[in-house]
């Protein structure tokens, strides 16, 4: 299977199953012969006693990149000043820490730069599957490069943000999947997020209904508790009414481990490519 998309972004409210779905999709792509890699952010701000590092590891048999903000910032600055020692000193200064923590989107500019560098220079040019922050942060992330390009009219940051915008706004390069649960409130939140993302980027944006009990429970003649029956009925009504508004509805998995849940939904993810 071939895909021209190099960056898939999974976002949505906290607790909707983004991480499990992003890992499962990465596994799906790898099973199809695509050099896919899962990536997420370890933190989004700097603390005084920060000693973490980015991790290039393996989880669930999937290559995994967990980005640390300070480590990523140091790498970004090192590339500009050509000195790891000077870069290490700069990121430790109170001014730089205050700057990166206070300027909206500066942290995401650094993270996105790291991801795009990985896509361009990583082994065999990997496809990156970003398990993005929750909805509000995802909007800030998509706005960051545009804001910085407007602030800096020339120079290194302007050049970098211009390159990032070219990739992030390219429908052939980036695709965004908004993950939501099959409840009315969660659905409306996903629609609102999609509307806001439409204002910010022309790339494809889809909604994925995750963890649908109405699709996943085995058929049985045993009576279910009234509350559960009503939940299933409400979910089914949402699935029926919103058909065509979402790209995929995934059934609830009865498995007990993340690894097994990922395996349960592997065969259903073709529409996300």
Question: What pLDDT does residue 99 have?
Answer: 81
Counting the structural domains of the chain, the total is 1
In a domain, 65, yes or no: yes
Q: How far apart are CA 157 and CA 165, in angstroms?
A: 12
pLDDT band at residue 103 using 50, 70 and 90 as cut-offs: confident
For residue 15, what are the domain limits? 7-272
Arithmetic mean of pLDDT, 125-139: 86
In a domain, 2, yes or no: no
Q: What is the CATH number of the domain that holds 127?
A: 3.40.50.300
Instruction: Tell me: pLDDT of 16 over 70.
Output: yes
pLDDT band at residue 52 using 50, 70 and 90 as cut-offs: confident
In a domain, 1, yes or no: no
In a domain, 44, yes or no: yes
In a domain, 70, yes or no: yes
Whether pTM > 0.85 for this model: the answer is yes
In a domain, 19, yes or no: yes
More confident residue, 199 or 152: 199
More confident residue, 95 or 138: 95
Instruction: Tell me: pLDDT of 29 over 90.
Output: yes
Residues 199-246 have pLDDT tens digits of 988 999 999 999 999 997 776 657 788 888 899 999 999 999 999 999
In a domain, 113, yes or no: yes
In a domain, 38, yes or no: yes
Q: Which of 68, 78, 137, 70 is nearest to 97 (CA)?
A: 70
Q: Are 109 and 164 in contact (CB under 8 A)?
A: yes
List, in order, residues 6 or more apart from 158 with CB less than 8 Å away: 148, 149, 152
Produce one character per residue of 85-94: b if its CB has 16 or more CB atoms within 10 Å, e if not: eebeebbeee
């Amino acid at each position: 299977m071939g895909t021209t998309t190099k960056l898939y972004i999974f976002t949505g409210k906290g607790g909707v199953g983004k991480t499990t779905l992003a890992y499962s999709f990465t596994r799906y792509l790898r099973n199809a012969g695509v050099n896919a890699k899962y990536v997420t952010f370890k933190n989004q701000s700097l603390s005084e006693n920060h000693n973490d590092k980015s991790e290039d590891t393996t989880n669930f048999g999937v290559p995994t990149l967990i980005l640390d903000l300070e480590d990523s910032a140091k790498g970004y600055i090192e590339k500009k000043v050509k000195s790891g020692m000077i870069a290490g000193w700069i990121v430790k200064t109170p001014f730089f820490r205050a700057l990166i923590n206070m300027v909206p989107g500066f942290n995401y500019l650094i993270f996105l730069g790291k991801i795009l560098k990985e896509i361009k220079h990583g082994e065999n040019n990997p496809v990156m599957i970003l398990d993005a922050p929750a909805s509000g942060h995802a909007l800030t992330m998509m706005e960051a490069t545009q804001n910085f390009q407007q602030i800096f009219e020339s120079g290194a940051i302007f050049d970098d943000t211009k390159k990032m915008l070219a990739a992030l706004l390219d429908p052939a390069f980036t695709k965004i999947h908004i993950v939501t649960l099959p409840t009315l409130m969660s659905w409306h939140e996903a629609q609102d997020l999609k509307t806001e993302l439409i204002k910010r980027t022309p790339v494809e944006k889809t909604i994925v209904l995750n963890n649908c009990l109405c699709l996943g429970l085995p058929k049985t003649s045993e009576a279910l508790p009234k509350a559960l029956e009503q939940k299933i009925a409400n979910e089914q009504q949402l699935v029926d009414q919103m058909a065509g508004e979402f790209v995929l509805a995934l059934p609830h998995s009865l498995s007990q481990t993340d690894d097994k849940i990922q395996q349960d939904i592997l065969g259903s993810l073709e529409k996300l490519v």
